[in-house]
Structure 1
Amino acid sequence: MKTIIFFIVLLPLYLFGSEGNVNVDLEYEKAVKSYKVKDFKSSYKIFSKIYLSKLSDADFNFYLGRSAFETGNYEVALAAFERVEMLDPTNLGNRLQMARTYFMLKMYEDAELAFKDVLENPNIPQNLKTNIELYLSKVTKVQQKSFTYATVNLDWVFDSNVNYGSLNDEYNINTGTLPSSPERSDRAIQVYADLVNIYDIGAKNGFAVKNRVKLYLKDYQEMDAYDVQFLSYTPSLLYKETKYLGELVLGLEVLNLGKVEYLRTASLSPRFEYSHSNTLKSIAQFKYQRKYFTQKAEYDLNSDHYELTYSLQKILTPRSYAQVMLTGIGERKHHGTRVDVDYDEFRISAIYANQFTAVYGTELFAEYRRRDYSDHSTLFGNTRSDNAGTAAAAINAKILKTLLFHLKGTYNRVESNQDKFSYHKYTVTAGLNKTF
């Protein structure tokens, strides 16, 4: 009898509780649908009613925080983002939203620290870095100062085939009609320093001026002729609206090869990005560069370089993203009869990056390139065409708050219809990254 009475008493409570959970889940689904179409007013109204049932749900609190932020309820947003921080400390997207919320609450020192914390992560895309720099310029403007930060890398490098391929990510060295040396490996120490200063000169969503100086040094153990000293200065003007960002970049660069000055360049590069949604972005960039080779023997390499790139970037999770890039390149010589200057090139590449934990992150890169030269070679009896591929994998580990260890392996392969230009190589890079 007691069992029957116990069952009669508990059954309504169980059914009521189940019905309540169903109602909460239905309301949650309804709110998420509103959130995804950017109807933040509706999503916030629902989220704020059911949040007590979802306090331990990181995704729910992030949705609540974004909805509260977009509707001007910044205190509620901050509380929600702080709960996400406790539940999922590796969530970079949440850390960025916290920084924005601090800014709106005029907690400028907290905003600056939070933005810098995201900026120090090596796995965030370059365009996100630019957006963070713009926010930091506004923070420091309020504090009556400009924002400056620096990154320094110190690396050990092993290169299996120094005589072939590029000196760095930006320049290919033209070794003449035929490669002059056989395959040879070497080790090197390289230093990369990047200094950025940005100052806001407009009102909300206005203009900012950015100055950037890059220094790259590479010292081979044996093959001194391939030592590199590279210096660039790239001032730019940025303009940002809610969904749009435009940047006009002027580039001035000097590259020394061995112990002699090798190349000077000047470039102009407009860049435009558009946010389709909170997680999908298009980026387009055009670059015109004029190359001046300073050694008399290289004058015929002087050329105009044209480059057009379109990228589609997808934020997969708050700690990972993927990006696909399509690039068309053309280069035209100023004078002379060299057959290895004028070319057209097509590239397709992809990047995937993931900050797995608060300590470890990784980046994967793959690229295919097709380069067709314009001039006929009487030596080979044809016009040169190259098919090339690159694959790279990198892992980084946080040692201290602003100090990272990174390890990267890269494999390059080129297949040319002129066999002398076919090669393959791999490089291994290990070093430290320090942000100031």
Structure 2
Amino acid sequence: MRKILIFCFITIASLSASSLETFKSDYTLALKAYNAQDFLNAYQQFYTLSEISPENVEVNFYLGRAALELKHYDDAVSAFDRVLILNPSHVRTKLELARLYFEIQQYDTAQSLLDGVLQEQLPLTVQENVIALKSAIEQQRAKHTFGGALILAWDYDTNIGNDVGRGVTQNIPNIIDLPGNNRRKSAGLAQTLVLNHSYDMGEKGGFAWESTFLAYNKNLTQYSDKDLMLFSLATGPSYTYDIYKLSLQAIYDKVRLESDDYMNISRVALNLKTILTPELMLETDITQKRSLHTQSSNTTDSDATVYTMGLRYALNPQDPWIIAAYVTYKDENERNKTAAQYGVSSDEWNYRLELSKEVFKDFRAAIGYAYKDTTYKEFDALFNLKRKDTEDYYTASLSYMLDKQSSIMLGYAYSDHTSNNALYTYKKNVTTLSYIYSF
């Protein structure tokens, strides 16, 4: 009998040791998956381990963190609560809970947790993270928020006559001005100021009033007749609910060419954004636009309706490629129906694709391609044709983050614009070096 009891004891001890070794091995694999940012696999493994050992603090902590990364907020709260029951002074869990409540916009709870954490003896880096999160909470809770950017740029354009507004490069025969492909090269200095303001009209995530002011100035080192200034003001309400944001904006643009008033543009835009997942955002926009030249003799005034649909997608969130794809249709019509003006009324399709990625630490590269197809509605008797244009537009850029607020960017763009009217066929290259400061 004694031998049987000894045998049973040894067997049970062996099985316990084997189970412990298996548990340690499974924990190591789960932690390896978490550190590799394979959060779904880590979550599943830690969940299984928590059923085996519900009193294990580290298992519950990493189960909560994996659930938080997957936006499984209820599961994360349950796991973190179990940790604090087992160890009420577990500072790392309190920090993760504060981050969770910040993400779900329960700012009072997040603030209370952080205030408690700051009473502890913390390493300097942890203190800085806590203070940064408290600052982000205060910013989210503020009624008024401000931001903006200052951009200073130098560029070299191989064909300035075909730029914004396409310029005027030919005259036939001193009576009719036509944009054409006369090449005029010039460097230019540009300054852009952007100011953003948002006023929260109720609970965060509900109604807000958003405004943006933009001022742009470009001076060419040659051909000052192409110097350009633009002032733009956009303002209007927005409403955010769950994964949707609906915005209505009234926009006014004033364009000055060679220090003289050139054009006034008014727009009304309705925009809807939907964040389906943290990686995928869909967007649609309808804009009504009116372009009026300041010279009463100008007959190119127009009204246009613009429809845009697009998406932004982060491919492989652990090391993402950001993909942006948009399609736009514009129906433009001349306002002066009695004028013998051609090349104003048109149907235009624009397709745009952009890929960007952080290729090295603080270095981000982007490439883009756009295709535009424009069909004009009037028959041009002077040239005996109905004009049709296409354009291939290629871009590439490399930016470097100097610090959290400033960066530099080197960009290149190439346009190949073709038309069945040779006057409107041209090519151009633009190289740009920019400094961007965000605030």
- Quick check: 1:224 aligned with 2:227? no
Per the alignment, residue 161 of structure 1 pairs with 159
Q: 1:273 to 1:400 in 2, by over 3 A?
A: closer
Q: How far, CA to CA, are the matches of 2:233 and 2:221 in structure 1?
A: 28
Q: 1:427 to 1:62 in 2, by over 3 A?
A: farther
CA contact (8 A) 1:31 1:44 kept: no
Deviates more, 1:195-204 or 1:16-25: 16-25
Q: 1:262 to 1:158 in 2, by over 3 A?
A: same
Q: How far, CA to CA, are the matches of 1:244 and 1:289 in structure 2?
A: 25
Q: How far, CA to CA, are the matches of 1:48 and 1:345 in structure 2?
A: 64
- Give RMSD over aligned pairs: 4.2
The amino acid of 1:396's aligned partner reads S
Per the alignment, residue 331 of structure 2 pairs with 330
1:152, distance to aligned residue in structure 2 (A): 0.2
- Aligned pairs (5 A) from 1:240-259: 240-259=240-259
Deviates more, 1:200-209 or 1:220-229: 200-209
Q: What TM-score, normalized by structure 2, do the two folds share?
A: 0.74
2:373 to 370, 375, 387: 370
Per the alignment, residue 125 of structure 2 pairs with none
Q: How far, CA to CA, are the matches of 1:249 and 1:392 in structure 2?
A: 29
- Aligned pairs (5 A) from 1:268-347: 268-298=268-298, 300-316=299-315, 317=317, 319-335=320-336, 336-347=339-350
1:355, distance to aligned residue in structure 2 (A): 2.9
1:323, distance to aligned residue in structure 2 (A): 1.4
The amino acid of 1:327's aligned partner reads T
1:405 to 405, 408, 412: 408
CA deviations over 1:174-228 (Å, ceiling 9, x no partner):
7776336711110000001100011101124310111110000000001111111
Per the alignment, residue 146 of structure 2 pairs with 148
CA deviations over 1:40-66 (Å, ceiling 9, x no partner):
xx9998899699469999xx9454444
Q: How many residues align?
A: 384
Per the alignment, residue 431 of structure 1 pairs with 434
1:342, distance to aligned residue in structure 2 (A): 0.4
1:262, distance to aligned residue in structure 2 (A): 0.4
Per the alignment, residue 379 of structure 1 pairs with 382
CA deviations over 1:6-59 (Å, ceiling 9, x no partner):
xxx9999678645764588699899838989xxxxx9998899699469999xx
Deviates more, 1:316-325 or 1:405-414: 316-325
Per the alignment, residue 414 of structure 1 pairs with 417
Q: How far, CA to CA, are the matches of 2:379 and 2:252 in structure 1?
A: 33
CA deviations over 1:322-367 (Å, ceiling 9, x no partner):
1111110111011122111001111111122223444211222111
1:259, distance to aligned residue in structure 2 (A): 2.0
CA deviations over 1:227-247 (Å, ceiling 9, x no partner):
111001101211001111100
Percentage identity across paired residues of the two chains: 16
- Aligned pairs (5 A) from 1:18-37: 21=25, 32=40
Q: How far, CA to CA, are the matches of 1:116 and 1:419 in structure 2?
A: 58
1:150, distance to aligned residue in structure 2 (A): 1.9
Q: 1:115 to 1:80 in 2, by over 3 A?
A: same
1:67, distance to aligned residue in structure 2 (A): 4.0
Q: What TM-score, normalized by structure 1, do the two folds share?
A: 0.75
Q: 1:110 to 1:268 in 2, by over 3 A?
A: farther
Q: 1:350 to 1:80 in 2, by over 3 A?
A: farther
Per the alignment, residue 77 of structure 2 pairs with 73
Per the alignment, residue 88 of structure 1 pairs with none
1:265, distance to aligned residue in structure 2 (A): 1.1
Q: Whose radius of gyration is greater, 1 or 2?
A: 2
Q: 1:191 to 1:225 in 2, by over 3 A?
A: same
Q: 1:310 to 1:33 in 2, by over 3 A?
A: farther
CA contact (8 A) 1:326 1:347 kept: yes
Q: How far, CA to CA, are the matches of 1:75 and 1:245 in structure 2?
A: 32
The amino acid of 1:359's aligned partner reads D
CA deviations over 1:285-340 (Å, ceiling 9, x no partner):
00111111002342x11110211000022122255421111110111011122111
CA contact (8 A) 1:332 1:343 kept: yes
Q: 1:32 to 1:188 in 2, by over 3 A?
A: same
The amino acid of 1:354's aligned partner reads K
CA contact (8 A) 1:284 1:309 kept: yes
- Aligned pairs (5 A) from 1:121-132: none
Deviates more, 1:423-432 or 1:105-114: 105-114
The amino acid of 2:155's aligned partner reads V
The amino acid of 1:309's aligned partner reads T
Deviates more, 1:277-286 or 1:17-26: 17-26
Q: How far, CA to CA, are the matches of 1:48 and 1:296 in structure 2?
A: 82
Q: 1:213 to 1:67 in 2, by over 3 A?
A: closer
Secondary structure of 1:182's counterpart equals coil
- Aligned pairs (5 A) from 1:163-178: 163-164=161-162, 166-167=163-164, 173=167, 178=178
CA contact (8 A) 2:312 2:322 kept: yes
The amino acid of 1:330's aligned partner reads D
Question: Which residues of structure 1 form unaligned runs of 5+?
Answer: 1-8, 37-41, 84-94, 118-134
Q: How far, CA to CA, are the matches of 1:346 and 1:365 in structure 2?
A: 17
